[in-house]
Amino acid sequence: MSLAVEQSSGLLTTAHFVPSPNCDERPAGVLPELIVVHGISLPPNEFGGPWIEALFTNMLDPLAHPYFQAIHQLRTSAHLLIRRDGELLQYVPLQLRAWHAGVSAYAGRERCNDFSIGIELEGSDTVPYETAQYIMLAKVITLLRTAYPSLRQAPIVGHSDIAPGRKTDPGVCFDWLHLHALLQGHRSS
Protein backbone atom coordinates (compact mmCIF):
# COMPACT_ATOMS: atom_id res chain seq x y z
CA MET A 1 0.00 0.00 0.00
CA SER A 2 1.39 3.38 -0.96
CA LEU A 3 1.32 6.48 1.19
CA ALA A 4 -1.95 8.36 0.76
CA VAL A 5 -4.39 10.45 2.77
CA GLU A 6 -7.79 9.01 3.64
CA GLN A 7 -9.69 12.27 3.27
CA SER A 8 -12.69 11.36 5.43
CA SER A 9 -10.60 10.27 8.42
CA GLY A 10 -7.57 12.54 7.97
CA LEU A 11 -5.29 9.52 8.39
CA LEU A 12 -2.30 8.51 6.31
CA THR A 13 -2.79 5.03 4.89
CA THR A 14 0.58 3.56 5.80
CA ALA A 15 1.00 5.28 9.17
CA HIS A 16 0.44 3.33 12.36
CA PHE A 17 -2.36 5.26 14.09
CA VAL A 18 -2.22 5.69 17.87
CA PRO A 19 -4.92 8.18 18.86
CA SER A 20 -3.86 10.98 21.18
CA PRO A 21 -6.44 12.73 23.35
CA ASN A 22 -4.35 15.89 23.07
CA CYS A 23 -6.16 17.51 20.18
CA ASP A 24 -9.35 19.34 19.36
CA GLU A 25 -11.19 21.01 16.50
CA ARG A 26 -9.49 23.77 14.57
CA PRO A 27 -11.24 27.15 14.76
CA ALA A 28 -14.13 27.41 12.31
CA GLY A 29 -12.96 28.09 8.77
CA VAL A 30 -9.26 27.68 9.60
CA LEU A 31 -7.28 25.29 7.39
CA PRO A 32 -3.67 24.12 7.79
CA GLU A 33 -1.33 26.55 6.02
CA LEU A 34 1.99 25.81 7.75
CA ILE A 35 4.12 22.70 8.27
CA VAL A 36 6.14 22.61 11.49
CA VAL A 37 9.08 20.22 11.89
CA HIS A 38 9.99 19.20 15.43
CA GLY A 39 12.62 16.99 17.03
CA ILE A 40 11.89 14.81 20.06
CA SER A 41 13.69 12.14 22.07
CA LEU A 42 12.68 10.68 25.40
CA PRO A 43 14.66 10.62 27.56
CA PRO A 44 16.69 13.38 25.92
CA ASN A 45 19.22 12.09 23.38
CA GLU A 46 17.94 8.49 23.66
CA PHE A 47 16.10 6.86 20.80
CA GLY A 48 13.64 3.98 20.57
CA GLY A 49 11.34 2.80 23.28
CA PRO A 50 7.74 3.62 24.14
CA TRP A 51 8.22 7.03 25.74
CA ILE A 52 7.14 9.39 22.95
CA GLU A 53 3.93 7.44 22.48
CA ALA A 54 3.40 7.40 26.24
CA LEU A 55 3.79 11.19 26.37
CA PHE A 56 1.40 11.79 23.47
CA THR A 57 -1.22 9.46 25.02
CA ASN A 58 -0.89 10.85 28.58
CA MET A 59 0.56 7.56 29.86
CA LEU A 60 4.14 8.66 30.65
CA ASP A 61 5.26 7.11 33.95
CA PRO A 62 7.02 9.81 36.01
CA LEU A 63 9.00 7.10 37.82
CA ALA A 64 10.42 5.51 34.65
CA HIS A 65 13.15 8.17 34.30
CA PRO A 66 14.05 11.27 36.35
CA TYR A 67 13.43 13.55 33.35
CA PHE A 68 9.83 12.34 33.09
CA GLN A 69 8.95 13.82 36.48
CA ALA A 70 9.06 17.30 34.97
CA ILE A 71 7.08 16.50 31.82
CA HIS A 72 4.63 13.69 32.59
CA GLN A 73 1.72 16.10 33.11
CA LEU A 74 2.20 17.88 29.78
CA ARG A 75 -0.69 17.51 27.37
CA THR A 76 1.03 17.51 24.01
CA SER A 77 0.87 15.71 20.70
CA ALA A 78 1.74 15.98 17.03
CA HIS A 79 0.00 14.89 13.91
CA LEU A 80 2.88 12.63 12.87
CA LEU A 81 6.10 11.10 14.18
CA ILE A 82 8.90 9.76 12.01
CA ARG A 83 11.12 7.29 13.87
CA ARG A 84 14.87 6.97 13.24
CA ASP A 85 14.29 4.10 10.78
CA GLY A 86 11.67 6.07 8.83
CA GLU A 87 8.65 4.39 10.44
CA LEU A 88 5.63 6.68 10.28
CA LEU A 89 3.19 7.02 13.19
CA GLN A 90 0.14 9.23 13.41
CA TYR A 91 -1.37 10.56 16.63
CA VAL A 92 -3.88 13.16 15.44
CA PRO A 93 -6.06 13.20 12.29
CA LEU A 94 -4.95 15.97 9.94
CA GLN A 95 -8.22 17.91 10.08
CA LEU A 96 -7.89 18.29 13.87
CA ARG A 97 -5.64 20.64 15.82
CA ALA A 98 -2.71 18.82 17.43
CA TRP A 99 -1.15 20.43 20.48
CA HIS A 100 2.43 20.61 19.20
CA ALA A 101 3.47 24.26 18.95
CA GLY A 102 2.57 25.80 22.30
CA VAL A 103 2.99 29.55 22.56
CA SER A 104 3.99 30.38 19.00
CA ALA A 105 3.71 32.80 16.10
CA TYR A 106 4.48 32.79 12.40
CA ALA A 107 4.41 35.84 10.11
CA GLY A 108 2.60 37.85 12.77
CA ARG A 109 -0.03 35.18 13.36
CA GLU A 110 -0.20 33.67 16.84
CA ARG A 111 -1.39 30.22 17.96
CA CYS A 112 0.29 28.16 15.25
CA ASN A 113 -1.52 25.00 16.37
CA ASP A 114 -4.66 26.51 14.82
CA PHE A 115 -3.26 26.58 11.28
CA SER A 116 -0.43 24.05 11.11
CA ILE A 117 0.47 20.40 10.75
CA GLY A 118 3.06 19.23 13.31
CA ILE A 119 5.57 16.57 12.29
CA GLU A 120 7.93 15.20 14.93
CA LEU A 121 11.22 13.55 14.02
CA GLU A 122 12.75 11.22 16.57
CA GLY A 123 16.02 12.97 17.24
CA SER A 124 17.76 15.72 19.12
CA ASP A 125 19.31 19.08 18.37
CA THR A 126 22.86 17.72 18.46
CA VAL A 127 22.59 14.36 16.66
CA PRO A 128 22.24 14.17 12.86
CA TYR A 129 18.91 12.85 11.63
CA GLU A 130 18.82 9.64 9.59
CA THR A 131 18.48 9.44 5.81
CA ALA A 132 15.31 7.36 6.19
CA GLN A 133 13.74 10.21 8.17
CA TYR A 134 14.47 12.81 5.49
CA ILE A 135 13.09 10.51 2.80
CA MET A 136 9.86 9.88 4.73
CA LEU A 137 9.52 13.55 5.68
CA ALA A 138 9.83 14.60 2.02
CA LYS A 139 7.24 11.98 1.00
CA VAL A 140 4.83 13.15 3.71
CA ILE A 141 5.22 16.85 2.86
CA THR A 142 4.75 16.13 -0.84
CA LEU A 143 1.62 14.12 -0.06
CA LEU A 144 0.21 16.84 2.22
CA ARG A 145 0.83 19.51 -0.42
CA THR A 146 -0.95 17.37 -3.01
CA ALA A 147 -3.90 16.35 -0.83
CA TYR A 148 -4.64 19.73 0.76
CA PRO A 149 -4.88 22.86 -1.42
CA SER A 150 -4.24 25.04 1.65
CA LEU A 151 -0.80 23.39 2.01
CA ARG A 152 0.29 23.64 -1.66
CA GLN A 153 2.57 26.60 -0.99
CA ALA A 154 2.83 26.11 2.77
CA PRO A 155 6.05 27.23 4.41
CA ILE A 156 8.02 24.53 6.22
CA VAL A 157 9.51 25.79 9.47
CA GLY A 158 11.15 24.43 12.57
CA HIS A 159 9.64 24.63 16.04
CA SER A 160 12.47 27.04 16.81
CA ASP A 161 11.22 29.40 14.06
CA ILE A 162 7.76 29.77 15.60
CA ALA A 163 8.85 29.74 19.26
CA PRO A 164 12.31 31.35 19.25
CA GLY A 165 14.01 31.53 22.62
CA ARG A 166 11.66 28.88 23.96
CA LYS A 167 12.34 26.00 21.53
CA THR A 168 15.46 24.94 19.63
CA ASP A 169 14.24 21.92 17.67
CA PRO A 170 14.73 20.39 15.19
CA GLY A 171 18.18 21.77 15.98
CA VAL A 172 21.44 22.65 14.30
CA CYS A 173 21.91 19.11 12.98
CA PHE A 174 18.74 19.22 10.90
CA ASP A 175 19.76 19.56 7.23
CA TRP A 176 17.24 21.94 5.67
CA LEU A 177 19.11 21.97 2.35
CA HIS A 178 18.87 18.18 2.12
CA LEU A 179 15.12 18.27 2.82
CA HIS A 180 14.54 20.97 0.19
CA ALA A 181 16.60 19.01 -2.37
CA LEU A 182 14.45 15.92 -1.73
CA LEU A 183 11.30 18.00 -2.10
CA GLN A 184 12.60 19.39 -5.41
CA GLY A 185 13.18 15.81 -6.56
CA HIS A 186 9.60 14.88 -5.68
CA ARG A 187 8.27 17.95 -7.48
CA SER A 188 10.10 17.15 -10.71
CA SER A 189 9.26 13.43 -10.75
CATH code assigned at 96: 3.40.80.10
pLDDT-based confidence at residue 107 (cuts at 50, 70, 90): very high
Write down the pLDDT at residue 189. 57
Q: Note whether residue 57 is domain-resident.
A: no
Q: Which amino acids are annotated catalytic?
A: 120
- Structural domain range at position 88: 14-41+79-188
Contacts of 14 (CB under 8 A, 6+ apart): 1, 2, 3, 4, 88
> Which stretches of the chain are DSSP H helices?
51-56, 68-71, 131-147, 159-162, 176-188
Q: What pLDDT does residue 1 have?
A: 67
- Is residue 139 in a domain? yes
pLDDT of 33 strictly over 60: yes
Domain count, the chain: 1
